[in-house]
Structure formats: C-alpha cells, structure tokens
Structure 1
Amino acid sequence: MRILLPPSEGKTSLPKGSPVDLTKLIFPELKAPRQQLLDTLTTLCNNEPQQALRVLGLTENQTDEVIRNQGLWSAPTAPAWQVYTGVLYGQLDTATLTKAQRQKLTDSVWIASALFGFVGFADLIPAYRLSGDTTLPQIGGLAGFWRDSLTPLLASDPELLLDLRSGSYVKLGPLPVGVAERAITVRVLQKMPSGAPKLIMHFNKATKGRIVRAIAQYRGTLRTARELAQLVATLGADVELLPLTKPGQAQQLEIVLPNLG
C-alpha cells in the first residue's frame, strides 16, 4: 500500500546534521524544481524579510521562521518523520515503533511537501516554513508549480493508494485519471452531543496518525479498502465504506469518532 501524507506546519530543527542533498531524496528527477524553490525562498527571506512575512502568511512574532528559511541550504537535516512534528506525526509516534515497522513506513510513505514535492518518510530534510497554498514571487502558486511533476509520479505507481493529504497538498499533485479507482480517501467526523457528526480538524489529523501507526504495526498486507476499514474499526471508531457515486471515483472511508465530551 502506498500512503500519501501531508506535512505539518510544526517542524523541529535538529542541532546537528548534514546539509540537504537533493540528489539523495526520493525522486531525484525533481532536483531542478526543488533547487528553484529553495533558491527563490532563501533569496526572498534574506533580501526582503518583511515581504517574506506577508508571502508566507506570518506575523511579526514569527520572524524566526523567516530567519530559519534564510539558511536552508546549510541547515542541519534529519529524517522527515523527525522534522514534521504536528498532530498527525505526534499520534503516529514513529520513535516508539520497531525498526521493522519504521522500515515499513519508509518503504510505503510519500509526504507531500510544498518545498520538495514528495519526500520519503526517512529522507533527510531541513526544517522550513512554506505552505502548500503559498504564492511565491517569480514562481506563482505552488499547485501550478508542482502539478505537472507530481501527478505523473502517482500515475506510475501501481500500489493501492491511501491518500491522507489535506486540501492544499492534494492540489500539488491531484490523483490522475485511473489512479483514483485504486485510491482510498478518509473523512473523519466526531459525534456531537446533539445533531449530526462534525469535522474537527484536531481529531481529523490525530486519527490519520493513528491509522498510519496501525498500518505500520499490522503484520499482514492490506490489499483492499475493506481490509483497511476492518483495521481502522479496531481503533474504536464507527467505520463505513461509502458507496461510489460515479466512475473513476476514489473509495471514501468515513470514520465517526465517539463524542468525547
């Protein structure tokens, strides 16, 4: 199973590590666009820090993010799963998995990155600030920048695909025609004290992290959406495979969490 993850806004810089080597990331054919983005981002943050704040959607209190971007070419790197530290990655808690379980994720996970395109779970990258919906000077919107490079990579991969990316990162590499038919998306809702279940972003991210952890710990091979649904049900949620409404549509797994109030 191929697993597509979003990055996280929260990232941790490690004190030691070699600088990024674009030739050692998965998909070395993406070296040219990666280098172009790194050059553009570091130049903007070094030469126009106030403009960089606006472009990156940051406040004056987040100037440290611009400063961090200034030195991306020489910054220490760490495995992507250590750099990304948001809610999803917190629940995934990779450090407590076994070596074999981490290797399983290294073999199966691609992380959608606004800066690097797709990165591998264990690829060595620096901490950076760049969101998928950013529009950079001389580059334009990142969805338009990455689409023609990332979508063909998805088309060439024959695996059953679990797409856990959030909206702006789906736009970087939309599922091409034919791939959606072997893809699974996930919708996470939470029961409310009254009324219909609702999407709660924190629990959406946390649940996706728990799903990926469960896949890493699963000893078998997941071959179908139904097998995945059965695994997710063991996490204590109501799970339903929604009926397909049109040809070429990805299978959607709806997960309804209990009311925690």
Structure 2
Amino acid sequence: MLILLPPSETKSPRTRGRATDPATLSFPELAGARRTVQAALAEVSGRPDAADLLGVPPSLVEDLRRNTELAGSPATPVGEFYTGVLYDALDLPTLTGPARRRANAWLVVVSAAFGALRMTDRVGAYRLAMDVDLPGVGRLGPWWRPHLDAPLTAAAGTGPVVDCRSSTYATAWRPTGAVARRWVQVVVPGASHWAKHTRGLVARHLCEHGSSARTPRALAEELSSAFEVELTPPVREGQPWQLATTPPA
C-alpha cells in the first residue's frame, strides 16, 4: 500500500542539529532533481522580487531566508516536521509498534522541494509550493512528474494507492497502467479544513488497523467499519476511483 500525503505550509523545524544528509533520504534516484530545485530555490529566494515569484506573503520573509540556507539548516524528521490539520488528525507521534512501522513504510509526502519523502527522512526548513513557476526550473507539478513516476510506481507495489493529496500536489504524479487501476482518491464533502482532517483520520486508521486490500473495492469495505464511504469507479481509463469519505456522526 502507498498512502500519498500533501505537505503542509505550517511546519515545526528544529533550530539546532545536523543538516540534511541527501545520501540518507528515501528515493535516492531523486537526488539530482532535488539538487536542481533546491539550487534554483536558493537563488530565487535571494532576489528582491522573491516574495512575488514564490507567492510568499511579505510577512513571511523569514521563510525566504530559510530557503537560501536549506542545505545547511538543522534537519527535522518528516514525521515531526509537517503540522496542521491533516497532520494533527494523523497524530503520528502517538502511533507505536506495528502502526508506526506501517506509517514509515506506507506514508509518502509529495514535496515541491524534495519530490517525495518518507516519515523517517530528515529535512531542513523551506517554503515552496507545488504550483510555483520556479525560475530556472518551471512549474513544479509538471516538472516533478517524470522524476516521480518510477520511484512512486515501485513504492505502490501490488496494493492500492490511497491518495490524500490536494489537487495542487496531485499534479506531481498520476499513476499509470496497472497502478492506476488501484488508484483511490479520498474525497471529502465540505470545506478544505474538514477534508484535510478526514484524510488524516483515514491515513491514521489504515496505519493503526493495517490492510490486506488489493483492490479499491476491498479498501472501501475495510474503511466502511470506521467511516461512511461511497466508492465511484473511474469515468475513463487512467483516472482514479473516487472514495467519498465521512467520519460517522
């Protein structure tokens, strides 16, 4: 199983400690793409028009400084780094034993700066969104797509791809072929806040309870014990199944 998560704009970086060691990150085949993006990000973040180019509010100029220092800034485990609504619902620090091992194996964050990360990877603080048109690189969603295809296809294995990403981050990788037939997009009626919360709960439930599902229908059946679910098949080949999900009242 592969559970895809978006990153979060809210982060809790460490203020001391060793910097990211690129050699230790998951998906080592992304090393060259990561260097390209991070070098462009550091260069752009030092420009007078950086806030406009990166879509960063003027009140967050400190984030731009961090971008210029990403290579040497203290690294934080991904499981602690991202915070916010989805990650509060996931509540990774309280998972232990088999649940934590599943989280480390199944959860992957799709990142504009790093491509893809597992919970045990350690990264420095940065500010970069997937919809940015990064000078020297291009619009990041389409740019990352060919780089992420092979590693994420391999990570999917023979189980479902449970997609909890926002639409912006979904542009960075779309499963194809046999993997696309097991691609399940978690959709939640209502406001963005509620959607993020529910997706975090879905990811947590799967990590806590495990899963033997090999098909979207089997996955929906497993989740129906804890959520109200409605599964809709793809309209066309290559599109995801839609799993409308609501926690029980």
Q: Under a length normalisation based on structure 2, what TM-score does the superposition of the two structures give?
A: 0.91
The equivalent residue for 1:13 is 13
Matches within 5 A, 1:6-155: 6-46=6-46, 48=47, 50-155=48-153
In the alignment, structure 1 residue 241 sits paired with structure 2 residue 231: yes
SS of 1:179's equivalent in the other structure is helix
Match of 1:251 among 233, 236, 241: 241
1:218 aligned partner, one-letter code:
H
**In 2, distance between residues paired with 1:68 and 1:125?**
12
Question: CA shift at 1:134, angstroms?
Answer: 0.5
SS of 1:128's equivalent in the other structure is coil
In the alignment, structure 1 residue 214 sits paired with structure 2 residue 191: no
In structure 2, do the counterparts of structure 1 residues 102 and 256 end up closer, same or farther at CA, with 3 Å as the change threshold?
Answer: closer
Post-superposition Cα deviations, 1:115-153, rounded to whole Å, max 9, x if no partner, equal 011111211111210000011111111123211111232
Question: CA shift at 1:257, angstroms?
Answer: 5.3
1:239 aligned partner, one-letter code:
V
SS of 2:72's equivalent in the other structure is coil
Give runs of ≥4 in structure 1 deviating > 4 Å: none
Q: Under a length normalisation based on structure 1, what TM-score does the superposition of the two structures give?
A: 0.87
Q: Which deviates more from structure 2 when the two are superposed, residues 56-65 or residues 127-136?
A: 56-65
In structure 2, do the counterparts of structure 1 residues 31 and 230 end up closer, same or farther at CA, with 3 Å as the change threshold?
Answer: same
2:16 aligned partner, one-letter code:
K
The equivalent residue for 1:200 is 191
In structure 2, do the counterparts of structure 1 residues 73 and 201 end up closer, same or farther at CA, with 3 Å as the change threshold?
Answer: same
Q: Which deviates more from structure 2 when the two are superposed, residues 93-102 or residues 220-229?
A: 220-229
SS of 1:118's equivalent in the other structure is strand
Unpaired segments ≥5 residues, structure 2: none
1:201 aligned partner, one-letter code:
S
Post-superposition Cα deviations, 1:4-34, rounded to whole Å, max 9, x if no partner, equal 1111111111123311111111111111110
SS of 1:246's equivalent in the other structure is coil
CA contact (8 A) 1:92 1:213 kept: yes
**In 2, distance between residues paired with 1:176 and 1:31?**
23
**In 2, distance between residues paired with 1:53 and 1:201?**
25
Identity among equivalent pairs (%): 34
In the alignment, structure 1 residue 171 sits paired with structure 2 residue 171: yes
Question: CA shift at 1:56, angstroms?
Answer: 1.5
2:38 aligned partner, one-letter code:
L
CA contact (8 A) 2:233 2:240 kept: no
CA contact (8 A) 2:163 2:184 kept: yes
The equivalent residue for 1:193 is none
Q: How many residues align?
A: 247
2:242 aligned partner, one-letter code:
Q
2:194 aligned partner, one-letter code:
F
CA contact (8 A) 2:162 2:183 kept: yes
Question: CA shift at 1:219, angstroms?
Answer: 4.5
In the alignment, structure 1 residue 158 sits paired with structure 2 residue 157: yes
RMSD value over aligned CA atoms?
1.9
**In 1, distance between residues paired with 2:21 and 2:43?**
19
SS of 2:14's equivalent in the other structure is coil
**In 2, distance between residues paired with 1:106 and 1:53?**
34
Unpaired segments ≥5 residues, structure 1: 190-198
Larger Rg: 1
SS of 1:73's equivalent in the other structure is helix
